[in-house]
């Protein structure tokens, strides 16, 4: 018999599976070009050519036993971690070394390792709604409890007063995600400074460490040269979870890292625990060949202009029709108010017009929908008449 604890996931997943199946059915019936699938955050820009070249070069140039073997340390190759650390130092003026970096199986495993490292069962982790749906599952994996900080539906920026109301003597961490999935909002320096001040105060008041876990798979996807402040510079008790899934379009390769700054409290134990968490959670070490690839491609960048073009076309198109959208400053998601107020009903209605989008309820924020615009530009252009027809039905 399958574990009862898994059944709620299985039931929850059937909605996602139904969306996939529906997408495939619609594509077969109407042709793939007539189905507007905005449901997934899968990059539409191919990985830079340097990535494929690096794979070839590494296979030619490096020791086969070494590139395919277990890592000596569960944290990954020391030289790769040193390269990552020096890269961060050159960008942010930090002072990391290999000892501060743990290579991970993407941000997803990084977050699991961070939660297992920092939270005991029963402790609480806060997330600002709307937030990436998996956070709750990751917390549950380790017996931790995710508590939502209610959304500010005017600005969709985190509300610190609401956060303070949710903090208790069991709070151990606050997860923040900027640029944000699903809103595209970037948290500016003013906010980060206030967040850091508030948490420092709360640590003193409660006599316990409260960590920020900065989930940063979209760090490089910031438009108009927007600054994305580096959290460890403002708050010592920060752990950063990074990934190359979006920044180099490598989501299937499962590669990322965690940063544990030396200044965080209990650094020595935390880094040892993270190293072990990587092993005991079954990741063992991040995939080795691709570790070596990202080290060689550390300065490579994705073609953000392609996403920017989609961002502007979709935002302008939807606004003209009459939709209310948050203008994304980063990532590749548009957060849109559901006409009629019922996000699930709106998604169902959109599907009747071959548009696949995700309800805000999946991000703990009903009443809105997420449109992932990491798609071919023609998909945006061709979908706008369909979006207009859906809107008409709400008049
Ligand atoms: N965090 C957020 C906010 C995401 O949107 C995603 C993936 O879409 C992840 C984490 C997981 O990323 P990865 O593919 O690196 O595991």
- State yes or no: pLDDT of 12 exceeds 90: no
pLDDT at 189: 97
Tell which atom from ligand 1 comes closest to the C-alpha of 106: 15
Residue 33 banded pLDDT, cuts 50, 70, 90: confident
Residue 22 banded pLDDT, cuts 50, 70, 90: confident
**Number of Cβ within a 10 Å radius of residue 65:** 7
Query: Which of the pair, 140 or 17, is modelled with greater confidence?
Result: 140
Q: Residue 250 and residue 255: Cα distance in Å, rounded?
A: 8
Tell which atom from ligand 1 comes closest to the C-alpha of 177: 3
pLDDT at 15: 66
Residues with CB under 6 A from ligand 1: 41, 106-108, 132, 177, 181, 215, 217, 243, 245, 251, 256
Q: What are the C-alpha distances in Å from 78 to residues 138, 229, 288, 379? A: 27, 26, 12, 43
pLDDT at 377: 97
11: phi then psi, degrees, rounded to nearest 5: -65, -40
Ligand 1 centroid – CA 107 distance (Å): 6
| Best of 245, 302, 328 for a ligand 1 pocket test (most atoms within 8 Å of beta carbon) | 245
Tens digits of residue pLDDT in 331-387: 999 999 999 999 999 999 999 999 999 999 999 999 999 999 999 999 999 999 999
Among 260, 189, 271, CA closest to 230: 189
Tens digits of residue pLDDT in 86-111: 999 999 999 999 999 999 999 999 99
Ligand 1 centroid – CA 243 distance (Å): 8
pLDDT at 11: 83
Among 190, 207, 290, CA closest to 250: 290
Average pLDDT over residues 224-246: 98
Q: Tell me the average pLDDT of the chain.
A: 96
Ligand 1 centroid – CA 108 distance (Å): 6
| Best of 243, 254, 290, 364 for a ligand 1 pocket test (most atoms within 8 Å of beta carbon) | 243
Tell which atom from ligand 1 comes closest to the C-alpha of 181: 3
Tens digits of residue pLDDT in 184-205: 999 999 999 999 999 999 999 9
Residue 82 banded pLDDT, cuts 50, 70, 90: very high
Ligand 1 centroid – CA 214 distance (Å): 12
Tens digits of residue pLDDT in 145-189: 999 999 999 899 999 999 999 999 999 999 999 999 999 999 999
Ligand 1 centroid – CA 109 distance (Å): 9
Prior bond to 141 cis, omega within 30? no
* Nearest-5° Cα angle at 41, 333 to 182: 35
Q: Residue 264 and residue 277: Cα distance in Å, rounded?
A: 18
Q: b/e map of 110-128 (b: 16 or more CB within 10 Å)?
A: bbbbbbbbbbeeebbbbbb
Ligand 1 centroid – CA 61 distance (Å): 32
Give the percent of the chain with pLDDT over 70.
Answer: 99
C-beta separation of 243 from 255 below 8 A: yes
pLDDT at 102: 98
Ligand 1 centroid – CA 217 distance (Å): 6
| Best of 115, 132, 253 for a ligand 1 pocket test (most atoms within 8 Å of beta carbon) | 132
Q: Residue 29 and residue 106: Cα distance in Å, rounded?
A: 36
pLDDT at 14: 67
| Best of 107, 125, 220 for a ligand 1 pocket test (most atoms within 8 Å of beta carbon) | 107
Ligand 1 centroid – CA 181 distance (Å): 9
Ligand 1 centroid – CA 363 distance (Å): 13
Q: What are the C-alpha distances in Å from 54 to residues 46, 47, 60, 151? A: 15, 12, 10, 43
Q: Residue 343 and residue 339: Cα distance in Å, rounded?
A: 8
- Give the CA-trace dihedral at 303, 304, 307, 312, to 10 degrees: -130
pLDDT at 144: 98
Tens digits of residue pLDDT in 289-321: 999 999 999 999 999 999 999 999 999 999 999
| Best of 103, 178, 181, 254 for a ligand 1 pocket test (most atoms within 8 Å of beta carbon) | 181
Tens digits of residue pLDDT in 126-140: 999 999 989 999 999
Ligand 1 centroid – CA 391 distance (Å): 31
- State yes or no: pLDDT of 13 exceeds 90: no
């Amino acid at each position: 018999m399958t574990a009862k604890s898994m059944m709620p996931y299985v039931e929850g997943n059937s909605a996602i599976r139904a969306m996939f199946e529906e997408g495939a059915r619609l594509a077969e019936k109407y042709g793939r070009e007539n189905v507007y699938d905005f449901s997934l955050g899968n990059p539409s820009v191919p990985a830079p050519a340097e990535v494929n070249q690096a794979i070839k070069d590494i296979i030619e140039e490096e020791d086969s036993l070494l590139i395919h073997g277990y890592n000596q340390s569960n944290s990954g190759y020391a030289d790769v971690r040193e390269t990552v650390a020096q890269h961060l130092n050159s960008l942010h003026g930090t002072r990391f070394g290999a000892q501060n970096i743990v290579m991970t199986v993407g941000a997803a495993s990084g977050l699991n390792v961070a939660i297992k490292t920092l939270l005991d069962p029963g402790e609480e982790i806060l997330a600002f709604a709307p937030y990436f749906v998996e956070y709750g599952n990751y917390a549950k994996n380790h017996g931790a409890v995710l508590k939502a900080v209610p959304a500010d539906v005017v600005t969709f920026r985190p509300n610190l007063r609401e956060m303070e109301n949710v903090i208790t003597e069991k709070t151990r961490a606050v997860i923040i995600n900027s640029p944000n999935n699903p809103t595209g909002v970037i948290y500016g320096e003013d906010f980060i400074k206030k967040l850091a001040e508030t948490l420092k105060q709360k640590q003193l008041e409660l006599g316990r460490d409260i960590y920020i876990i900065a989930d940063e798979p979209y760090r490089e996807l910031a438009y108009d040269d927007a600054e994305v402040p580096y959290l460890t510079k403002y708050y010592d008790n920060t752990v950063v979870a990074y990934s190359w899934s979006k920044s180099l379009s490598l989501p299937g390769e499962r590669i990322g890292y965690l940063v544990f700054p030396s200044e965080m409290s209990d650094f020595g134990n935390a880094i040892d625990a993270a190293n072990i968490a990587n092993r005991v959670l079954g990741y063992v070490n991040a995939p080795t060949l691709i570790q070596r690839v990202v080290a060689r491609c550390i300065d490579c960048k994705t073609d953000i202009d392609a996403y920017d073009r989609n961002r502007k076309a979709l935002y302008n198109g939807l606004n003209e029709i009459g939709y209310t959208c948050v203008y994304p400053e980063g990532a590749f998601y548009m957060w849109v108010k559901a006409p009629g107020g019922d996000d699930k009903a709106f998604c169902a209605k959109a599907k009747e017009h071959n548009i696949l989008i995700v309800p805000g309820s999946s991000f703990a924020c009903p009443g809105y929908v997420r449109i992932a615009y990491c798609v071919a530009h023609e998909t945006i252009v061709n979908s706008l008449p369909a979006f207009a027809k859906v809107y008409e039905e709400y008049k």
